[in-house]
Chains A and B, each alone.
Chain A
């Protein structure tokens, strides 16, 4: 640094000031540039999807047999599918992830802990399509199973684990050591200290992680493309063969209709499938944003504890 400093400072006063001004402008501009896509995207989705989701029956009806020329229909089949797939995924991923977090903070030392930390990092970088291919290779190619909603849940587990493990780890590290020591001092065994003292103290933080994990997987599309077929009808059974809708799946299914804006005779017509696509997109964004907001609120609440 000593080599850099004189070189930087020796340029003329005016040039230095100008450079500083320029840097300030560029840095502020960078933030402005980031705002453009966010606002633009949100505005697009809200303005195009608002009509669809405020319509009667959006949250209670499926698309059914309607084509892009037919108005109406809702996203109930997709919402139900997404909720079920995410619920099964959470049921599996949450206990595993929290235990991994506990292991890394309360027990972890030595080669296994180092390997686990590394693998959680790697897992967080595994592309969703690879996770999906893995589940496909195991359950469909190897065990000759059929595609289905529950396979999607399994693929989502792989994507959810790293998010929850990381947050759990961070939160457990924040728990003051005195609490643990006080508990040990009373003769409480370690497992009870962890389950009754450490985890409850960090609970809000862990819940934040879980909610963020749910938000992360709710919008995943790649596993849905590979592991389950899309249907326009309600299918509430995760394990029934082959077809279950979900919000990302619904959006993807309507994409095929993007270009369809003329009738058979060449008359321009209104494309209702596109309306439903933006409606599904808005529904998905609302769910994910709401989850993020909830996580943030819980997280803020946590900070006051220490």
Chain B
């Protein structure tokens, strides 16, 4: 890292730009212990090669380069003009690099540890389970023998998240479009801020508001859907307040800001030439959005929705407060107008009863399934985003 000294005055320009494009931050360069001057020589050589193509613009540049390169060639770089002795600097560097890399390693190991501990703590309970873990509807772990299966939990977790997605995704896209392409410029920022505020409200407050204030107002909506009926999701109705539908509506509000934020991000990055091309074809605003903005933003929309889904799957306290617990042994229904328990709410509801390690193991097994589920959804979402990043 030392020794850039000699070429600093001679090369004021090359640092921030390669071929006229700004380089995105230090990740591109100055990593590891590769001396900076090496990297810089490369840049400058490339620069010199590209110079003729860019025409007469950077003349100052061309004249500066030979100077820089020649000074670099003159022997090894001077070690820090005597400010710090090379040995001490290297130790400091090594320690700091070690600490930084150690923290990185810690984060990587953390996920592994979570998986490892959940698996080892769930294993004894799973081995003793007298019911089929994946296909049984039982859940009795209080007595001597363990009977537990996740079918009910999985169904409620998935369906409540889907209800939330169906409600939240279209609205989130609408808001993102409003912020990026409809709202007047001075209004866009406050609007975005207001939506972000929704994310700041703690989920327990959504929970108490949802069950005490919102759910009674949703009764008539549910009754209407129920009477339209026929469809298995709307078929029967045992609970008035505290249904899966109520929970889905509250979850929708909670995941709205995540989906909006990511959609907004990708909509903003639509290449202006695509937008202008649409305008030039005489498109209306909506046609421009359909031709330019939406196709470009589709991967971002998908991954944003999946991140929202991941949040909905794992939401605990709001769902726990809202959903009414079904009585044990109640028959299975597809209806969203009944109560139920998700993975997270089941675990939280039973937290006070964690006594015996084996019994707790049953709940840890449920937590493990939830972890795998959210891991898969999030990893898929991220891979879509990251693939997109490579293109842009």
Contact = CB atoms under 8 A, between A and B. Distances in A.
B110 A31 contact: no
Contacts of B378: 121-122, 124-125
Contacts of B32: 107, 109-110
Listed from nearest, the 5 A-B pairs whose CB atoms lie closest are A187-B80, A127-B314, A219-B202, A30-B174, A191-B96
B92 A122 contact: no
A305 to B, nearest CB: 16
Residue picked from A17, A37, A258, A292, most chain B C-beta under 10 Å:
A37
Contacts of A200: none
Contacts of A138: 113, 117
Given A99-B103, A220-B202, A281-B208, A177 B283 contact: no
B111 interface: yes
Contact of A129 (B100, B200, B316): B316
B218 interface: no
B379 interface: yes
B1 A255 contact: no
Contacts of B110: 119, 123, 158
B339 interface: no
A189 B1 contact: yes
Contact of B26 (A17, A126, A180, A296): A180
Contacts, number: 356
A26 to B, nearest CB: 6
Given A16-B284, A41-B201, A129 B347 contact: yes
Interface in A49-85: none
A30 B183 CA distance: 12
* SS class, residues of chain B in contact with chain A: helix
Given A1-B291, A9-B287, A108-B31, A187 B81 contact: yes
Contacts of A34: 171, 175, 194-195, 198, 256, 260
A242 to B, nearest CB: 12
Interface stretch (A232-240, A262-270, A282-290): A282-290
A29 interface: yes
A212 to B, nearest CB: 9
B104 A125 contact: no
B202 A24 contact: no
Nearest to A6: B281
Contacts of A109: 27, 31-32
Contacts of A129: 314, 316, 343-344, 347-348, 367, 370
A188 interface: yes
Interface stretch (B2-10, B54-62, B132-140, B330-338): B2-10
Given A38-B197, A186-B80, 8 more contacts: A27-B175, A124-B378, A126-B314, A130-B367, A178-B16, A215-B200, A225-B351, A226-B354
A106 B321 CA distance: 44
B174 A31 contact: yes
Interface residues of B, number: 127
A5 B29 contact: no
A222 B83 CA distance: 53
A156 interface: no
Given A23-B285, A27-B182, A106-B100, A185 B8 contact: yes
Interface in A15-39: 16-17, 19-20, 22-24, 26-31, 33-35, 37-38
Given A141-B357, A292-B200, A130 B374 contact: yes
Nearest to B24: A173
A96 interface: yes
A203 interface: no
Contacts of B203: 219-221
Interface of A: 1, 4-5, 8-9, 16-17, 19-20, 22-24, 26-31, 33-35, 37-38, 40-41, 44-45, 96-97, 99-100, 102-110, 112-113, 115-116, 118-131, 133-134, 136-138, 140-142, 158, 161, 165, 172-178, 180-182, 184-195, 215, 218-222, 225-226, 248, 251-252, 255, 258, 277, 281, 284-285, 288-289, 292, 296
A181 B8 contact: yes
Given A112-B101, A191-B93, A219 B374 contact: no
B39 to A, nearest CB: 11
Given A106-B30, A118-B382, A190-B1, A141 B121 contact: yes
B6 to A, nearest CB: 9
7 contacts: A100-B100, A112-B101, A118-B379, A122-B111, A141-B357, A141-B361, A172-B26
A100 B103 contact: yes
B178 A181 contact: no
A83 to B, nearest CB: 15
Given A34-B175, A44-B209, A125-B377, A181 B36 contact: yes
Contacts of A20: 284-287
A123 B285 contact: no
A23 B357 CA distance: 56
Given A102-B100, A184-B36, A225 B212 contact: no
A157 B170 CA distance: 34
B195 A27 contact: no
A41 B209 contact: yes
A64 B223 CA distance: 43
Nearest to B40: A181
B166 interface: no
A107 B31 contact: yes
B205 interface: yes
B138 to A, nearest CB: 21
Contacts of B295: 1, 4
Contacts of B96: 190-191, 194-195
Nearest to B115: A134
B159 interface: no
Contact of B92 (A100, A182, A192, A296): A192
B121 to A, nearest CB: 4
Given A181-B36, A189-B84, A221 B202 contact: yes
